[in-house]
Structure 1
């Protein structure tokens, strides 16, 4: 028996690849396996090659596997593009309809299954995804009753007749390949899973759930890949909690609506990707100047311009940190796991209100859309902190307004909601005095700037840096952010086998940069290797700026639209020893 296996299905976008993967992985999750998925898809609604890859394991994994055990192909293009990933002796399950061929030089066993023909016999070619799923499942020797329950869950709303037809498609696909292969393939028989319940979700769903847990009751947003799933999730869930989602005409309207709603006291968020974030910049400055809480999620993708809208990248860091004109306090948080996506949203809303600043939650496409197993979330950890939100304002002197922007020792002023008795004040995007009245006096300007920028002195979120440092003076310190953590850990395991010692840090607070916490680890390492999905080493440059160590920092950069693989990180790091 084996402890892990990699499975991929591919075809033309719109012909059932996504639903096949969803049902297949749902059934595996029911058995208690740990799963890590990667979705490669085109930036169009229908057509163009797409594939979904799932890593199945008896232990937690947070990286795409280097190789592939089973490839399910709906067309020859899928074989031509993906067969090179197959390990020697790997399997291709292909639709006999297109007369599949294994490319020259590929050591793989081909099973040509009449996938489309079986589906059409049952009434529609749409069921070919179930035929393919049944064939894959049978090769692994897994119990069909578990798979059938997943089918019932997927199609139950369409009635028992549809459910039965799809179950029959699964049965026929399984029966055909078992006869052809002579039974399940022993080399692909997975060891039993632990059977424990696990969540199996994408990062965007965890973000949406975290927003609800944080008390968010309004999302204003415009659809954009790869952020749209946050909006789609909250459209279904927020009304159950008295909230709503407003699809605005563009990202400018989305962010300004969020600012207005937060000013009114409703915890509100918006979410977008790089192009949308660019449109929001002026309004983010307004939130900074008016000291209005604001939470934005930026799900990074390939840029610039439309760029690679469905591909992996981590190139918005500079935009998030420096994008607004002028200077305002701003917090940028980078989740690294599905669990982080949930808990960091709660922290984002708390920090936004406590410090009265914009907070940007920075994910990347792989974390946002890659479906993963995670342990059940601990709702006892949820804490709501609203900062200096005051009521029962003492009576004001005649002709005086509430000092909404009062100079305080910590730079954070008291905040009132509209309509609060005694809370009347001006709100404007121009420089202002403590009561909010426009004021361009040089002394006032300097004091207000110092007040706003000083608010974040010493701020540290939970795990501002996540540290795995077993060595006092390692050969190398490997630093990453976002979805790269699991890949780095697997590369480190291989480095250790070569006698190379390494520590690993994931930077989770991008702004203000946690220099004091990171500095001792940078100083202790002989070489510092920074891993990131961009072309200009944006995270490495933040480290050089705030911590130093430029002479020992090395970059491993990838910006071709695909996530890092453990083998390529291992090779790159070993060469830098």
Structure 2
């Protein structure tokens, strides 16, 4: 038996690749396996090669695998593009319709299954994805009734007749390939899963659920890849909690609506990707100047301009930290797992209200759209803090106004919602005094700037940096952010087998930068490698600027639209150690 296996399905976009992956992985999740998925898809509605890869394991995993065990191909292009990943003795399950062939130099076993023909015999070629699923599932020797249950859930709303036809398609695919193979393949027999209940979701869904748990009741947003799933999730879920989603005409309207709603006291968020974030910059400055809480999720993708809308990148860091004109306090945090996506949304809303600042939650396409197993969330950890929200202001006398921007010792002023008795004050985007009246007085300007900028001096989010079982004097310190964490851990396992000691730090608070927490680890390491999906080493630049040790730091960069693989990180790190 084996402890893990990698499976991939490829075809043309709109051909059923996504639904096949969804049903296949759902059935595996029900058996209790740990899963980690990655989608390669084109920025179009239909057509263009697409593939979904799933790593299946009996133990927790947080990275895609370097190689591939089983490839399900709906066309020859899928074989040509993906067969190089197959390990020696791997398997290709392909539609016999296109007379599949294995490229030269690939040591793999081919099962040509009449996938389309079987589907058409059942009434429609659309069911070919179920034939293919049944064939690959059968090779693993897994119980067919579990898969059929997933089929029932996928197609149940279409009626029993459709469910029965799809189950028959699964059966025919399974029977055909088992006859060809002489039964399930022993070399692909997975060890038993632990059977424990696991969530199986993408990061965007965890972000949506986390925002609901945090008390968010309004999302204003404009659809954009790869952030749209947050909006789609909340459209279904928020009304059940008395909330709503408003699709605005553009990202400028989305962020200004969010600012207005937060000012009125409703926890509100918006979400976008790089191009949308660019449009939001002026309004983010307004939130900073008026000290209005604001939560923005930025799901990074390939840029600049339209760039690579459906590909992995981490190149918006500098834009998030420095993008607004002028100087305002803001917070940028970077979840690194599905669990982080959930809990960090609660942290983001709390920090935004406690410090009255914009908070940007920075994810990347792999984390946002990669479907992964995770433990059920612990709702007892959810704590709501609304900061200095005043509900009992004393009555005002005469022309007196509420000191909404009062100069306080900690730099955080009392906040009151519009309509509250005793809370009358001005709100403006120009510089202002303690009650909000416009003021160009030089002394007032300096005091207000200091007040705003200094209030984040003591900010440190939960796990500002995450360190895994540190070595005292490691040969190598590997630093990453976002979705790279699991890949780094897999690479470190290989480095350890070679006798290279290493530490791994995931930086989760990007701004203000956690200098004090990071410095001791930089000091102890002989060499530091910073891993990021961009071309200009933006995270490494932050480390050098705020913590120093530039002479120790090397960058491992990847910006071709694909996530890092463990073997890439291992090889590069070994050369540098």
TM superposition score normalised by structure 1: 1.00
Aligned residue number for residue 313 of structure 1: 313
Distance in 2, matches of 1:552 and 1:197, equals: 44
Q: Does 1:387 align with 2:387?
A: yes
Q: Does 1:161 align with 2:161?
A: yes
Q: Does 1:530 align with 2:543?
A: no
Distance in 1, matches of 2:197 and 2:169, equals: 28
CA shift for structure 1 position 357: 0.2
Aligned residue number for residue 287 of structure 2: 287
Aligned residue number for residue 72 of structure 2: 72
Distance in 1, matches of 2:404 and 2:416, equals: 8
Q: Secondary structure at the match of 2:220?
A: strand
Distance in 2, matches of 1:315 and 1:486, equals: 19
Distance in 2, matches of 1:25 and 1:395, equals: 60
Distance in 2, matches of 1:510 and 1:469, equals: 22
Q: Does 1:193 align with 2:155?
A: no
CA shift for structure 1 position 99: 0.4
Aligned residue number for residue 260 of structure 1: 260
Q: Secondary structure at the match of 2:390?
A: coil
CA shift for structure 1 position 91: 0.2
CA shift for structure 1 position 137: 0.4
CA shift for structure 1 position 406: 0.3
Aligned residue number for residue 178 of structure 1: 178
Q: Unaligned stretches of 5+ in structure 1?
A: none
Aligned residue number for residue 13 of structure 1: 13
Q: Secondary structure at the match of 2:62?
A: coil
Q: Secondary structure at the match of 2:265?
A: coil
Distance in 1, matches of 2:373 and 2:116, equals: 31
Distance in 2, matches of 1:118 and 1:335, equals: 45
Aligned residue number for residue 331 of structure 1: 331
Aligned residue number for residue 53 of structure 1: 53
CA shift for structure 1 position 469: 4.2
Aligned residue number for residue 422 of structure 1: 422
CA shift for structure 1 position 396: 2.1
Distance in 2, matches of 1:312 and 1:299, equals: 10
Aligned residue number for residue 495 of structure 2: 495
Q: Does 1:465 align with 2:494?
A: no
Aligned residue number for residue 143 of structure 1: 143
Where does structure 1 differ by over 6 angstroms across 4 or more consecutive aligned residues?
A: none
Distance in 2, matches of 1:223 and 1:26, equals: 26
Aligned residue number for residue 25 of structure 2: 25
After superposition, residues 344-383 of structure 1 pair within 5 angstroms as 344-383=344-383
What is the CA deviation profile of residues 440-474 of structure 1, one whole-angstrom value per residue up to 9, with x for unaligned ones? 00000000000000110110000000012431111
CA shift for structure 1 position 397: 3.0
Q: Secondary structure at the match of 2:344?
A: helix
Aligned residue number for residue 431 of structure 2: 431
What is the CA deviation profile of residues 74-109 of structure 1, one whole-angstrom value per residue up to 9, with x for unaligned ones? 000000000000000000000000000000110000
Q: Secondary structure at the match of 1:271?
A: strand
After superposition, residues 98-247 of structure 1 pair within 5 angstroms as 98-247=98-247
Q: Secondary structure at the match of 2:416?
A: coil
Aligned residue number for residue 63 of structure 1: 63
Distance in 1, matches of 2:526 and 2:397, equals: 63
Distance in 2, matches of 1:89 and 1:373, equals: 28
What is the CA deviation profile of residues 320-376 of structure 1, one whole-angstrom value per residue up to 9, with x for unaligned ones? 000000000000010000000000000000000000000000000000000000001
Distance in 1, matches of 2:128 and 2:213, equals: 39
Q: Secondary structure at the match of 2:237?
A: helix
Aligned residue number for residue 486 of structure 2: 486
Aligned residue number for residue 83 of structure 2: 83
CA shift for structure 1 position 403: 0.4
Q: Secondary structure at the match of 1:544?
A: helix
Aligned residue number for residue 477 of structure 1: 477
Distance in 2, matches of 1:455 and 1:480, equals: 27
What is the CA deviation profile of residues 474-517 of structure 1, one whole-angstrom value per residue up to 9, with x for unaligned ones? 10100000000000001011111111100010000000000000
Distance in 1, matches of 2:140 and 2:500, equals: 37
